[in-house]
Structure 1
């Protein structure tokens, strides 16, 4: 029934972030929390045990699988910061070239620390990703 195992929880995102043991990762997560709240206009919500998400969108695939996911978000992992929803907007390509030191995954962006990237470009990626995922998102059939 539940297509997406990562669902919103009642955990306080600020409490989750305050428990991050790595000091740089914790400080960066606090910056991302404020930035993503500002660009999305949405309060932070924990999606599953480790993803801080902002806004949501509904998806449905040809296979019939469907569910809800956070529009944008991040996870302060031990090795890096995983950023979600920032690479999908049509404007992402040129912005990613200006972002700085990062790695791209299938649908994620990995950053070792925020000091490695341009925060203004990151905020634009987050804003554009949020708008794209919550506005004119169409999954092709």
Structure 2
């Protein structure tokens, strides 16, 4: 049986070039702010994963099924409809932090935020650090 390969992998594309091309302008400005928040909270340099995801740190996973691969430890994507923020690997309950975050929607392993003015960026930083700490207990997180 052939093993499946992750579709989302590091690309080598310039993060700065990607952020400079984000439209509309408000979304680009927010993406630059998120980049600064993630850099500060993680201490990691950003790397493009796929066409539109910016990742900070990486981890290698190996499931009991035999599937394994590498993926971004945390990051975001400035999507058209909302900012997708990938910070919760799904292992822990971060409800206490999320109640202080502000207006957001919760996906399986990400948050959706319409605009940064809706959330508290200090709480977001706390959530990023908590997510990385939790992930590192399951799969060691490496710098990018």
Q: Is the shorter-chain TM-score for this pair beyond 0.5, marking a shared fold?
A: yes
**Structure 2 unaligned residues grouped into runs of 5+:** 140-144
**Structure 1 unaligned residues grouped into runs of 5+:** none
Give distance in 1, aligned partners of 2:111 and 2:62: 23
- Aligned residue pairs: how many? 137
TM-score (norm 1): 0.90
Give distance in 2, aligned partners of 1:64 and 1:11: 30
Match of 2:94 in 1: 92
Match of 2:126 in 1: 124
CA 1:9–1:2: 2 relative to 1, 3 Å: farther
Contact 2:90 2:108 survives alignment (8 Å): no
2:117 is the counterpart of 1:115? yes
1:89 offset after TM fit, Å?
6.1
1:23 offset after TM fit, Å?
1.5
TM-score (norm 2): 0.88
Match of 1:53 in 2: 55
Q: How does 1:20-59 map to 2 (within 5 A)?
A: 20-59=22-61
2:12 is the counterpart of 1:10? yes
In the TM superposition, structure 1's runs of 4+ consecutive aligned residues that sit over 4 Å from their partners are none
